[in-house]
Structure 1
Amino acid sequence: MAELKDGMEMQKEQKKAQPSGFCSALVATPIRIAPISKVTSFFRNFSDLFRQAPFSLLFCSFTGLLAGIGLSLMTGMLELLPGLLILIPPAIAMRGNVYSALVSRLGTSMHLGLFSPTLRKGGMLYQNAYVSLSLTLILSVILGALAKIMADAFGISCISLQGFILISVLGGIISGIILLGIAILVSITGYNRNWDLDNMSSPIITSAGDMVTIPSLYLAAVVLLKLNLLNIRIMGGLSLVALLSILFIAVALFCVLIGLRTNDAAVRRIFVESIPMLFICAILCTLAGIRMDMALERLIAIPSILILIPPFLGECNALGGILSARLSSMLHIGTVSPKRVPDKLVSANFAVMYILAVFVFAFVGILAFVASSCLGVATPSLLKMLAISLIGGILCTTFLNLASYYIAILSFRFGLDPDNDTIPLITSLTDVVGVLCLLFVISLFI
């Protein structure tokens, strides 16, 4: 009885100690509000990114859609010039590699207080513009040669080597001049308006690259066909196409020598670090082109997938560019240390990429379906297009999150500039992985 009485007394004391009603709710409230406050803090910390990035990502979707429509209308040219599709992914990626790296370097220079919005010789803007145009010419020659070499290696019927080089260089020069103008305009405008270029420049350049590259390649392909029809022979039977290709190769070699032997240390460093990395990227993106060319008959049979590919890859590259540019800037200014395991700040950036990816890839899937329906081309159902884009996008985002971080910290640890290495490599890897993810998901639903 004494034990029972003691137990009853303890229960009474506990009951008195426990708040009830309104008081109990007040005690429980902090536990319920804590996660909400963390979410609010998360969105507040990344408010600039959530405010600036969606506009550029939506712009990327619409311009990528235009590129996709252009690609779907190029089926006749793709059949007329075998192997041309091999050149499209590396050509698009090369524009992003060169000019996204350009605006990333300019963005970093703004963070460090080194940027000047003038094109005077020797200035930051002039140096980067000169290097970008030179790299465009050099990489265009390399892409043309790689497309032919790898097509032959995989036993794919294709046009001649000089044909590939002519299309690649002409398309590269046309689109490169346009993209350089856009990059300079975005950089100067961002500097004057105090924008963070890391949050928006890469999607704008990526989308502009998508939009201008395919028409530029189409125009270059038309020039090739016209020159072949003229059948002009010069210097002992050398065709005009072959002569122009030799000229392009000679100019590209001259640009390499000038870039590597210049007295300007900043320009020389960009050449030394960029050319090997861009060559690796060219190989990776050409593999993506090979994979697409192997699936050409299937893609032509479902034109809506051709419409989906450019905006899908464009958004993958844009997200990778945003993350890479942010990581590069954070490493430069010391807010992130190159650790083996990503810290909380880096993980928070990963989470932002996933949030943006869900909305962006869902929008791309819907947009591609609507465009296909309006054009009257064959398309899977809306639900299938949405699933293909969303699942493929999430898979690719997972890859680019991890790849962006580890490539950035490795280049930083080895004393390289992440602006010159991370974005080009991520763009190229994302093209390959993006194509593989997209084709994998397509095989599941179609």
Structure 2
Amino acid sequence: MNRIKSNSNSRMTRTSECSSETEVNSNAYRLVANDTKPPDIKYGKENSWFAGVQMFLSFLLAGFGMVAASLLLDVVQHWIVFKKVSEVYILVPALLGLKGNLEMTLASRLSTNAHLGHLETSLGSLVMGNLCLIQCQAVLVGFLAASAAVAMGWIPKGQFDIHHALLLCASSVLTASFASFVLGLIMIGVVVFSRKLNINPDNIATPIAASLGDLTTLALLSWIASLLYKSIGTSVIFPSIIIIIGAVIVPLCGYIAWKNNFTRQALDEGWVPVVSAMVISSAGGLILDYTVSKYKGIAVYQLVINGIGGNMVAVHASRLSTAFHTGQKEGSVISSTTKLLLIMVVPGQLIFVYTIGYLRAGHTSMTPTFIFFYMSAAMLQVFLLLLISHYMVMWMWKFGMDPDNSAIPYLTALGDLLGTALLGVAFRILDIIDDDDADLGE
């Protein structure tokens, strides 16, 4: 009888140890193996006014970066590669959304680690693991984004061009790989310096990640695609070499990320959200491909409305995730954050819209009717995104998923889809009511 009781106790002990080990491994970013005490949390209470100033300034900086990306898209849409290989339009939202997702989830993870005190104790491990993680994700999902663009461009036309397919794939893989490395280093620097300056990285890191990601990725994609277009019909060797190198990078960086305690869970959980987000953004790309052909003025505003909406919902999700990780009462934190973000939509969007108008970009006049419908689309987009974010992050935390790894890709992709669709509806309404804008359909 004692032997039975002893065996039972032994099994219970092993079960408890396995359960405890699983919990530690799944939360390695929070309590790594050598931690012997709870991490030091320096960002407990935060003044709403100070937080609002931080967020608004970061939105302005990020917004002007997105305006620059929008102006760049307005220019490159006239390049020969965009005209001859129309699938590049489908690739733009998917690839930009991908890069924004990877950099913003990186920023969110690093912000949480900053709150938990890991930057001081494990910075080298954090940097190596996260750079390898986003490199692995970027190259693989860049290839998937190109494949989706080829399929979506090929199916309606009923024809397949191997040269166009190789151009899209090589351009996407090379752009994603190079941009990931550069932007990853920048985001690590942003979080580290914000920590040193006692600024909450949750308020500034994700908007900066998104804005730099859009501008850098679009510039690289346009330049690389243009260079590769010149070799179409003459050689397939160069794009093939790029694709092969990318295929080697994925398992190598994936192995390093898997061996790192801080990124193992992200590598395990991060694929489904990123791939799903890419599919959702590709749907937005189809809408963009249609609307750009009908309304040339929409291109310059598409990145702004999508970027601002994505930035705001990313900050919302990042702060809510941090509240869960650090044991704060998320209700008060998110209530004030939601109000601040909604208040920022109108002045922020007006600044960027009038900046575009002042620069005479976009082929669209700044009429009161246009401003009304544009702002209505932007407000509705952000309201829906914040509502979805609140319930999504809470649901993920409830079911044991880390929102830092999973929430932002879904939310920013939905932001792209909603923003593109609502902006298309706004331009359609303006066309129907005849807004006296002679350039609207040019």
Cα distance, 1:118 vs. partner? 7.2
Match of 1:226 in 2: 230
SS of the equivalent of 1:195 reads coil
| Structure (1 or 2) with the larger CA radius of gyration | 1
Deviations 1:310-329 (A, max 9, x none): 12211111101110111110
Work out whether 1:254 is the aligned partner of 2:258: no
Work out whether 1:433 is the aligned partner of 2:435: no
Match of 2:3 in 1: none
Compared CA separation, residues 211 and 66, structure 1 to 2 (3 A)? same
- Contact 1:97–1:278, Cα closer than 8 Å, also in 2: yes
SS of the equivalent of 1:295 reads helix
- Contact 2:133–2:263, Cα closer than 8 Å, also in 1: yes
SS of the equivalent of 2:120 reads coil
SS of the equivalent of 1:334 reads coil
Matches within 5 A, 1:16-415: 45-77=47-79, 78-116=82-120, 120=124, 123-155=125-157, 160-228=164-232, 231-232=234-235, 239-241=236-238, 243-244=240-241, 246-248=243-245, 250-251=247-248, 253-255=250-252, 258=255, 262-300=258-296, 302=297, 305-336=298-329, 343=331, 345-371=333-359, 373=360, 378-415=363-400
- Contact 2:316–2:337, Cα closer than 8 Å, also in 1: yes
Compared CA separation, residues 156 and 214, structure 1 to 2 (3 A)? farther
SS of the equivalent of 2:411 reads helix
Runs of 4+ residues deviating >6 angstroms: none
Compared CA separation, residues 187 and 256, structure 1 to 2 (3 A)? closer
Taking structure 1 as the reference length, the TM-score comes to 0.80
Compared CA separation, residues 366 and 157, structure 1 to 2 (3 A)? farther
Q: Which moved more, 1:170-179 or 1:349-358?
A: 170-179
Cα distance, 1:71 vs. partner? 0.7
Q: Pairwise CA RMSD of aligned residues? A: 2.3
Alpha-carbon separation, structure 2, partners of 1:128 and 1:382: 46
Q: Which moved more, 1:361-370 or 1:421-430?
A: 361-370
Q: Which runs of 5+ in 2 are unaligned?
A: 1-45, 432-442
Alpha-carbon separation, structure 2, partners of 1:200 and 1:370: 27
- Contact 2:170–2:243, Cα closer than 8 Å, also in 1: no
Q: Which moved more, 1:412-421 or 1:147-156?
A: 147-156
SS of the equivalent of 2:117 reads coil
Alignment coverage as a number of residue pairs: 382
Compared CA separation, residues 45 and 84, structure 1 to 2 (3 A)? same
Cα distance, 1:156 vs. partner? 8.0
Alpha-carbon separation, structure 1, partners of 2:158 and 2:187: 36
Counterpart residue type for residue 77 of structure 2? T
- Contact 1:104–1:198, Cα closer than 8 Å, also in 2: yes
Cα distance, 1:263 vs. partner? 3.4
Q: Which moved more, 1:56-65 or 1:173-182?
A: 173-182
Compared CA separation, residues 156 and 424, structure 1 to 2 (3 A)? farther
Alpha-carbon separation, structure 2, partners of 1:181 and 1:246: 24
Alpha-carbon separation, structure 1, partners of 2:159 and 2:323: 46
Counterpart residue type for residue 132 of structure 2? Y
SS of the equivalent of 1:115 reads helix
Deviations 1:18-70 (A, max 9, x none): xxxxxxxxxxxxxxxxxxxxxxxxxx941222110111111122111111111
SS of the equivalent of 2:231 reads helix
- Contact 2:135–2:253, Cα closer than 8 Å, also in 1: no
- Contact 1:117–1:125, Cα closer than 8 Å, also in 2: no
